[in-house]
Amino acid sequence: MGLPGTRRRPPFQAPRIGLFDRFRDRVESREFLRLRGRFRGRRGLLAFLAVMGPGLIAGMAGNDAGGIATYSVLGAETGLRLLWLFPLMMVILAVVQEMAARMGVVTGQGLSDLIRDRFGVRWTLLAMAVLLVANLAQTVANFAGIAASVEIFGMSRLIAVPLVAAALWALVLFSSARTVERIFIGIVLVFLLYIVSALMADPDWDAVGRALVTPDLPFEPSILLLAVALVGTTITPFMQFYLQSAVAEKEIDVEELGLEQVDSVVGAIWTNTVALFIVIAVASTLFVAGISVATAEDAARALEPVAGPLAVVLFGVGLFGASCLAATILPLTTAFVICEAFGWESGVGKRWEDARPFYTIYTFVLAAAALFVLLPGLDLIPLIIATQNLQALLLPVILIIMVLLANDERLMGRHRNGRIRNILAWGTVALVITLDVILIGVSALEAVGIRLG
C-alpha cells in the first residue's frame, strides 16, 4: 500500500493521447525547464497543459452512444422540463472526478489497486464484478449505437456489427496514439455541431433559463427512467476507474494536484455542457414537432436546423465514431483494471501467452456485447436507455468505496476529504441511491398494475 506522497507505477497502462504526451515531454525536457525561468508568466498555463487530459477524456467518454441516445430521448420526450438536472450533474460529476484524480495523484495507484490493498480480496471481487457488469452493459450500448448508426445508411446490423467487432479487436493489436487522438478530435467536432444546432434552432432562452433553476420531477415512470438514465450515463463506474488509473499512469506530482483537479472539473463541466445543448437542440426541434425518438434517424433530425439534408449523415457518422471509440476503450479498460486488481500480467504489446487473462477478458467483453446486439427483436434505443439505468443502479457500490478510500488518512494523508468534500460526496451517494430507490419502487408498483402520474 502506498503511503501519502509516495508513488509506484500501477500495472494499468492507460490509453495515452499523443497531444498530451507531447506537452508532457516538453515540460520535462531540460531545454524547456531552462526557458521556463525566463517566462514565469506562462508557467501556470504550460504546467496545466502538461497534466491536462485524464479528466477531459473521462468526461468526454460519457458522451458515447449511451449519452447521445439518452440526451436525445430526454429532449424529445420531456422538452426543457429536466434541464435543472444538468447543473446538478455538473457538480456531482465534478465531485466524483476530483476524488478519483486526487487519489490517483496522491497514491500513484489505480482505483482497483487501492480497493485490493485497503479492503481485501472479497471487496475487490465485488467491485470487479460490478465493473464487469457495468462495462459489459455499456459496451452493449455502444454496439447498439453502432448498429443504429449503420441502419441509418441501410446496412444490416447482422453484417456490420461482427465486422466492426473484429476490426476493433484487431485495432487493439496495432493501434497508435495518433489514431486515437484523431478520433477524439472528430468526436469533439460532432459535439460542437450540437451546440451550433441548439443556437440555430432559436430556442426560447427565457424558458431555458427558467428550466435550469426550476426543479420539476413528476412521479411518472417514463420520466423517472430518463432521470435515472441521465445519472447513469453521466457518472459511469468505468469513467472513475479510467480517470484514476490514467492520472496514476501520467505520474503527476502532488505539487501539480491543483492543476489535475482543474482538469477533472473542466472535464465534468465540458461533458455536461455538451449534453445540455444536445437536449436543447432536440427539445427545440423534435419536442416542438411532437416527434419521439424511436430510431437513430429520428434523433438525427435535431441537427436539421444547422445541417439541413446532411443531418442524418452527420448524426450517423458521429454516432458510429463515438460508439466505436467507446466500444474499443471499455473492454480494454475492463481488462486492464481487473488485471491490475489481481496482479495479473497485462499490456497490449504482450503476446497472448504472456497476458492470457488480459486478452481473455478483453475478448469476452467485446464479443459478448456484439453478440447480444445481434439477438432478434431488439429495439436499439430502448436497449441503450436500459443499459444507462443499469449503470445508475450499480453506481452506488463504486461511489461508496471511493468515498471511504478518499477519507482514509493512511492513504491520503492531508489530502483526504475534508468536511465540505464529505458533505458533497455523501450527498452525491445519497442522491443516487434515492433516485435508484424511487425507480425501483415506481417500477415495482407499475409491474403489479398500480400506475402513478
- What are the extents of the domains in the chain? 52-447
CA 442, chain centre distance (Å): 27
The per-residue pLDDT for range 92-124, each reduced to its tens digit, is 899 998 898 888 888 888 888 888 888 888 888
State the pLDDT at residue 189.
Answer: 66
Euclidean distance between CA atoms 441 and 177, whole angstroms? 46
492520472: which residue's cell? 247
Euclidean distance between CA atoms 89 and 234, whole angstroms? 7
Which pTM was predicted? 0.78
State the pLDDT at residue 209.
Answer: 92
State the pLDDT at residue 197.
Answer: 77
State the pLDDT at residue 426.
Answer: 92
State the pLDDT at residue 13.
Answer: 40
Please name which of 246, 226, 237 lies closest in space to residue 104, comparing C-alpha atoms.
246
Euclidean distance between CA atoms 131 and 236, whole angstroms? 10
Q: Domain 52-447: which topology?
A: Amino acid/polyamine transporter I (1.20.1740)
The per-residue pLDDT for range 131-167, each reduced to its tens digit, is 888 888 889 988 988 998 888 888 888 999 999 999 8
Instruction: Name the most confidently modeled range: 65-74, 271-280, 430-439.
Output: 271-280
Helical residues (DSSP H) of 79-176, grouped into ranges: 85-107, 111-119, 121-152, 157-174
Mean pLDDT calculated for residue range 251-260: 75
